[in-house]
Amino acid sequence: MEVDYEITSTEEKTGKNIVVILVGAPGSGKSTFCENVMSAARCPWVRICQDTITNGKSGTKAQCLSSAAEALKDGKNVFIDRCNLEKEQRAEFVKLGGLHVDVHAVVLDLPAKLCISRSVARTGHEGKLQGGKAAMVVNRMLQKKELPKLGEGFSRITYCQNESDVQGAVNTYGGLGPLDTLPPGYFGEEKRDAKVQLGIMKFFKKVDAIDTAMRDKNCSQVSVSEQETKEIDPSCKETEKITSSVGNEYEGNTEDQVLLEGSSVGSLSSKGVPTLAFPSISTSDFQFNKEKASDIIVEKVEEFLKKVGNVRLVLVDLHESNILSLVRSKAEQKNIDSKRFSTSVGDITRLYTRGGLRCNVIANAANWRLKPGGGGVNATIFSAAGPALEAATKERAGSLSPGKAVVVPLPSTSPLFKEEGVTHVIHVLGPNMNPQRPNCLKNDYDKGCRILGEAYSSLFEGFASILSIQTKLWKGSEEVSGSRSSELHENLFERNITNKREGRYASDRIKKYKGPQEESGIQHAISGSNGKESLSAMTDSMEGKVQSKNEKVDGGKRKVWSAWAQALYHIAMHPEKHKNEVLEISDDIVVLNDHYPKAQKHLLVLARMDGFDSLVNVGAEHLQLLKTMQAVGLKWVQSFLSDDASLVFRLGYHSAPSMRQLHLHVISLDFNSNHLKNKKHWNSFNTAFFRDSIDVIEEIEKYGKATLHDDEKLLSMELRCHRCRSAHPNIPRLKSHISNCQAPFPATLLQNDRLVLAPSQVHNKA
């Protein structure tokens, strides 16, 4: 009898339970890992071990599955303590995942020699695998090792290749609270370093990043850093299927719209949100009362979050401490959004590589001299950042007064920049209640609370300044929110660095489609010693180009491409890295399936021209490229029609696409797809928002540009059948109707070859 392992609960869960499938050879430390996490845990964990599943004796896989399911129903997190070295061995446990359960893998990929020596030396092992036979067993199992992939159904995979990595993973899971979650994706120092996140394009680990200039007029340099792409280990048996947001246009659904993570060290956090990680100020070395300090932290956090847009603050301590507990409790009492403010246990200088939390800014509880040394956070941050931070700090300030903060752009040479993606450190000094330290307030908590409040206010204002200065990269641009300015900042420099690295597209492709004047301007913008340019030089050379690329045809707001929206651009520029997904490649185009198709057949034909983001950028000089895209789309349509003559196709562009890189939609008009979920999806293909390819080509020929119907109101119009134009209240009702509607298509669609049908249907189309 097959056991149903679907997890149900009579209680509504505010967080998700976790199944952690441990993957590792005998002797890799799986059982010890479980014990260490469970001893430090703040929420209930259950260890499921096949060696002890039957009252301390070995049992079956089915018993493990049943016990795990029961533990999850009881609201507990679960460790699956088996070797799980082969995909087949993991498959049934992955199925434990569901709406309220995330499935993670922790891979203890320690050296074989270490695993063997441990296994041989141990005594009293639960599974009796010890002594001389252990070496043979470990060797045999490692020969069959298949490292896990997200495509198996995991939401998060952490690789541990040494004891330091293992301890980092212990800290991550041991520090989880009942309502805490972990970001999805690959984490750790795994040498196959395809660090991509669940639901996004499997990009190489690209680490273009920048230092932004600060408000102070003496900080005028912007440095740009590159880290070479790490090759995926050829020993992998197969390339993991891309689970990207390719074609994820107007998805409007959080389960499908996943933002890009790991695309740019120093860009944004794991959710694409500018993130500040900060320690509690003055509660350690300066001995400030923790109860009073927690009140001030929560007060200032709440005050700051009301003023700013989409940002995130994270209070960090090395261990689960009293200050974290107090702040967490008080923040919950004040109903502060946990997605915007949370606490985290771990080393503030290793939050990304050990815990997957990307923080582009971190705060340092500094001393008044702004010098390395002492202890605690200050020593840790200066040590992790290297000499570059001390030198950069010295340029900014020589000392710091209590209650004040100083923002230091972190040089790209700093390990903290290159490995963790931290672009800025904010030094902040709080009040001192320790008589062994300077400026002791001698228990004057009235003054102390005022200074501590000023310290946090200065810290958060410094963080805000990092975001707001980015708007100044755009002369005369409108004021934008913190999240928007981060996108502006990232978008401006990401284009330059990508072009610089990929010389053939910054030269050959540009020469083919752009005039010499524009080409020279772009080449100037990407030149410079080691990729470094001053802010003024970079903005002067690029401003006109970026404006022309991002403005709408008739003047209007600039289009800013967020991180996840860069997926198609990277495929167009690097199709050779996505051979398993790409259907056709030529010098001019790339063809691939839309990853979230809105119909039975839904292809995207991408232009391979750099800077060709959407119809906004199309002019008369691009006419031949548009015709090529149309011809390729028609070729694929004929192939589909030869298999199913009942299909009807339409080829066209969205007036305002949600993803960067001009792409032609080739879509069948059955609209039979689970990914078609809301008004935006439907109306983006069935209103004037969708521009037929044939019409665009004619307009370019006549007027040199295409007319865009990019009014957002079009996407929120009532739902109407694309055949009979009847109105329907919701998508399920509309889908039910169109599956049976036999009305002829409207006359506007039947004209000018906007519809493509099989020859046998042509006489019936009216």
- Cα separation, 249 vs 451, in Å, equals 49
**Is 343:172 a contact under the CB 8 Å cutoff?**
no
Residue 527, SS3?
coil
- Cα separation, 762 vs 766, in Å, equals 8
Q: What DSSP assignment string belongs to 635-673?
A: HHHHHHHHH-TT-EEEEEEESS-SSSS-EEEEEETT---
Task: Supply 222's token pair.
Answer: 């912007």
- Using only C-alpha atoms, what is the Rg of the chain? 28
Helix (H) or strand (E) segment spanning residue 409: strand 405-409
Alpha helices in 308-375 (DSSP H): 322-333, 351-355
Closest among 174, 207, 195 to 41, alpha carbons compared? 174
Q: What DSSP assignment string belongs to 472-489?
A: GGSTTPPP--HHHHHHHH
**Is 202:196 a contact under the CB 8 Å cutoff?**
yes
Helix (H) or strand (E) segment spanning residue 114: helix 112-121
**Is 502:574 a contact under the CB 8 Å cutoff?**
yes
Residue 396's φ and ψ, nearest 5 degrees, are: -90, -45
Task: Supply 761's token pair.
Answer: 């249907």
Residues with a catalytic annotation lie at 663
- Cα separation, 545 vs 597, in Å, equals 33
**Is 360:275 a contact under the CB 8 Å cutoff?**
yes
Return the residue matching tokens 């679907």: 6
Which residue type, as a one-letter code, is found at position 516? P
The 3-state secondary structure of 8-60 reads CCCCCCCCCEEEEEEECCCCCCHHHHHHHHHHHCCCCEEEEECCCCECCECCC
The 3-state secondary structure of 564-596 reads HHHHHHHHHHCHHHHCCCEEEECCCEEEEECCC
Residue 112 Cα to chain centre, angstroms: 33
- Cα separation, 650 vs 664, in Å, equals 10
Task: Supply 16's token pair.
Answer: 């998700």
Task: Supply 121's token pair.
Answer: 């030396």
Closest among 434, 436, 407 to 422, alpha carbons compared? 407
